[in-house]
Chain A
Amino acid sequence: MATLKQLAEKEELFTGGHRLCAGCGIPQIIRLILRSVGENCSVVGTTATGCLEVGTSIYPYSSWRIPWIHSAFENASATMTGIEAAYNALKRKGKIAKDKEIKFLAMGGDGGTYDIGFQALSGALERGQDFVYLCYDNGAYMNTGIQRSSATPFGSATTTSPAGSAIPGKTQWRKDLTRIVAAHNIPYAAQASAHNWKDLQRKAERAFAVKGPAFLNVVSPCPLGWYSKPELSMETAKLAVETCYWPIYEIDEGVLKVNYKPKEKKPIEEWLKLQGRFKHLFKEENKGLLKEFQDRIDLEWARLLDLDGKHI
C-alpha cells in the first residue's frame, strides 16, 4: 500500500477547479480512488448523471484526466460493460498491447446506484463484469434539489419527505445496498468513508486488483442537503462511522471483516445534531424516533459484529 507521501507524488487524474460545492465529500473520494489505480495501469471512467457528473464536466472545462463518459442516469454499469467489451476486442485484435492493464471505473451517487441504476448494477454484478463500481452516498438527490432516495437516512427531512404534521421526515430505513451487492457473490464489496483516507485507499487498491466486479460504497458529506457546516464535513463523516450509522467493513471473497470498531460507540445524536435535516428529531414529541433510530443502529451493529470474520 502506498504511503501518503507516495500518494501525494502521484499524478493527479482529477483536477481542481471543478464546480462541486465547498465541503462536498465527492472530490476527495474520487481523487483518492484514482490515485489508487496501480502503477502502469490506465483507467477509463463512466459517471451516471448526478453531482459528480455535473460538477466536473460543464463546458468548456473537464476535471478528468482519464477517458471519461457520461452515461444516462440509470445505466453506468451497463455502459461500462460495453466499454470493457470494446477494449477487450481491441486487445484481441492487437490494437492495444495485450499486456496493457486497463481498469474500468463506473461511478454514481446514491440515486443513480441504489435507485434508478440498481437494475443495471445488479446485471453487471451477475455477469461478473471486471469493473469497479463506486457509489458516493450522500443520502439524497442533491443535484436536483434534495429529494429523498432509498439511501436517505430514517427521519431525514428532504424536499419530498418534508418534516411536518403528516410525517417526521423519511419514515423508512435506508436500503442496505452494500449487503445486497455482496449477495451477488462478487469478489469484493466494501463500505468506506470520505474521512478515512487510509482505509478508503486500501479498499480502492483491493477493488482494482481483484478480477471481476468490485463495489465501493463511500459515505460522502453534503453540506447542502445535510444542512451541515462545510468546514465540519470530515468530522460529520467521521461521526457517521463513530456512531456506527455507517460502519466501515468489507466482504472479501465472501469473508466479512469489520475494519473499524469504535472503542466507545457514540450515541447517534452526536451525528444527527450536526445536520439540519434532523433538526426536528430533537423536538420533544419526536424523542421516540431518536430512540427508534438508536435501537435500529444498535441492532444492525450487533448483527454486523456477529458476522465479523465469518464467511457469509
Chain B
Amino acid sequence: MSDKKENTPMVNTGEYFTSGNLAVAEGSLAAGCKFFGGYPITPSSEVAEHMSIKLPQTNGHFVQFEDEIASIASILGASWGGWKSMTATSGPGYSLMLENIGLGIMTETPCIIVNVQRGGPSTGLPTLVGQQDIQQARWGSHGDYEIIALSPNSVQECFDLAITAFNLAEEYRVPVTILMDETIGHMSEKLIIPEEDKIKIVNRKKPTDEADGHLPYKAGEDLIPPMAVAGEGYNVMTTGLTHDERGYPALEADAQKVLLTRLLDKIRKNKDKIIMLEEYMLDDAEVAIVVLSSAAGTAKAAVDKLRAEGKKVGVLRPRLFRPFPHKEIAEALQDVKAVCVLDRADSMNDFGGPLFSETRSALYDLEKTPKVFGRIFGLGGRDFKVPDAEDVFTELFKVLKTGKIEKLNGYITI
C-alpha cells in the first residue's frame, strides 16, 4: 500500500439525502481517515458499516474488534503507525474506551471517537436519544487533562465537524470526541460534500531534526511535539506513565508538573482557535436559550416564529463542549437579560445539568449578570418540539417581567 502513510482523502463530492451516521463517516473519509477499529453498538453501528464498505476501496483498513477496549487501543496503534484513525460507539462502549482515551491524551495520539449518544446509564435506552455522555466527554478518563469534544447539530455539520475533528486532533495531538446523538445519527437531511480542493486538511507536524538524538516529546513554543511515525528512523518511545522529553518514564513530581502543564496548556492557550459557537438572532435579543446539539434546530425554529411576532429572542449554541467556551459565552450573552440553559442530561450534583452549571459559572463575572435558570428536557428519549421551546421563551419573558426566577432548575417535556 504505497499511499498508506499519505492519508489520502476520499471525497465523494456531491449532494446527498443521508443520515448523520453516514455523514460523519463520509467526513472522516474526506479528512483522510484510513483506519477504523470498532465494535457494533446501537445507535452508532451504521458508521462502522459504512466504513467497512468504503475503507477497503481506498487502501484503508477496517477491523471489527472483539470489544470496545480493543477498538480504541487499535486506533491509537494505527495513529502511531501514521494513519488517521477513528472509532464510533455509544454510551456503554464509550465507558469501556475511557481508559484508553486517557492513554491517548497522555501519549498525545491524534484519533477520533464518534459517540452517537443514547439514553443511559448502563445499557439504558439503546434506540433512543440521550446526551448524558457529555459528562464522560469532559471528565470520563481519570486524572487531569484537556480534551476536545465537538457537538454537531445537523447532518451537514456531522460531515463538517468530522473534518474539523481530524484537523484538531492532528494539530494538537489529542483524541477528539464527536458528540453526536441518536437523533442526528439516524435523521436524514441534505448533505453537500464539497470538492476536494475546497476542504482544508491539517496533517500532524513531523520532526525535521536529525534522527540521532531526536527527543520524541520535546515541544517548541507551540507546546506540541512533532510526531514521528514508527519505522521512519526516529526514536519512537511512548508510554502511559508520566514521561520526560525522551519519552522515558519519569516519576518525579517535577516531571509530572512539566508534562501535565504542557498537556493542559497546549489546549488552553489555543482555546481561541478551537472554540466555535453559533449565535442565532442574539444581537438585540432580550432573552436567549443556550443549548447543544440536535435540539438547537428546534429552538431556532421557535425563534423564527417568535421573531415574526416581534419578540426579541435568540439562541446560543456552542459547537463544542470541550474546551468549554466560558469567555465566549459571557461575551455573547452580556447584553441578554434572561437566559435558559437546556440540558438533555441531569447532573450528579443536584444543581442542574452540565451545560447549565458551566454556563452559569461563565456568566458570574459579567457586570450585568443575566437571570439564568436551567431546564432538563427530553429525558427518556422524549422529543423536544417547537412548542416546548416556545414554552421556555414564555417562561423567560415571565422572568424578565418579574425579575424573579421561581424555579432555578427543573424538568420539562417529561
Contact = CB atoms under 8 A, between A and B. Distances in A.
B66 A159 contact: no
A81 interface: no
Interface in A105-130: 111, 114-116, 118
B269 to A, nearest CB: 40
Given A70-B123, A72-B123, A148-B64, A162 B52 contact: yes
A79 to B, nearest CB: 13
Contacts of A150: 66
Interface in A80-136: 111, 114-116, 118
A58 to B, nearest CB: 11
Given A70-B123, A72-B92, A159-B52, A116 B45 contact: no
Interface in B5-47: 39-42, 45-46
A72 B120 CA distance: 13
A165 B57 contact: yes
A72 B122 contact: yes
B53 interface: yes
Interface of A: 49, 70, 72-74, 111, 114-116, 118, 141, 144-145, 147-148, 150, 159-162, 164-167
Given A115-B66, A159-B52, A147 B45 contact: yes
A49 B66 contact: no
Given A72-B122, A145-B45, A148-B64, A162 B40 contact: no
Contacts, number: 53
B53 A74 contact: no
Given A72-B92, A147-B45, A166-B57, A161 B52 contact: yes
A164 B53 contact: yes
The 4 closest A-B pairs by CB, nearest first: A166-B56, A115-B66, A147-B40, A116-B67
A118 B123 CA distance: 19
Nearest to A162: B53
Contacts of A144: 40-42, 45
A111 B93 CA distance: 14
A144 B46 CA distance: 10
Interface in B79-93: 92
Q: Which of A74, A144, A148, A150 has the most CB of B within 10 A?
A: A144
A159 B45 contact: yes
A160 B56 contact: no
A72 B68 CA distance: 13
A60 B340 CA distance: 36
Given A72-B92, A116-B39, A165-B57, A147 B48 contact: yes
B42 A49 contact: no
A160 B49 CA distance: 5
Interface of B: 39-42, 45-46, 48-49, 52-53, 56-57, 62, 64, 66-68, 92, 96, 122-123
Contact of B40 (A114, A141, A164): A141
Given A70-B123, A72-B123, A165-B57, A147 B49 contact: yes
A147 B123 contact: no
A160 B48 contact: yes
A72 B67 CA distance: 12
Nearest to B96: A74
Contacts of A167: 56
Contacts of B62: 160
B336 to A, nearest CB: 42
A141 B96 CA distance: 18
Nearest to B123: A49
Contacts of B46: 145
Contacts of B96: 74
Contact of A115 (B48, B57, B67, B122): B67
A141 B42 CA distance: 11
B126 to A, nearest CB: 8
14 contacts: A111-B40, A114-B66, A116-B66, A141-B40, A144-B40, A144-B42, A144-B45, A150-B66, A159-B52, A162-B52, A162-B53, A164-B53, A165-B57, A167-B56
B407 to A, nearest CB: 30
B123 A145 contact: no
A145 B57 contact: no
Contacts of A166: 56-57
B67 A147 contact: no
A73 B57 contact: no
B68 to A, nearest CB: 8
Contacts of A70: 123
A20 B213 CA distance: 63
Given A115-B67, A159-B52, A162-B49, 19 more contacts: A70-B123, A72-B92, A72-B122, A72-B123, A74-B96, A114-B66, A115-B66, A116-B39, A116-B67, A141-B40, A145-B40, A145-B42, A145-B46, A145-B49, A147-B40, A147-B64, A148-B64, A150-B66, A166-B57
Nearest to A141: B40
A161 to B, nearest CB: 7
A166 B53 CA distance: 9
Nearest to B46: A145
Q: Which of A70, A145, A165 has the most CB of B within 10 A?
A: A145
A162 to B, nearest CB: 6
A148 B62 CA distance: 12
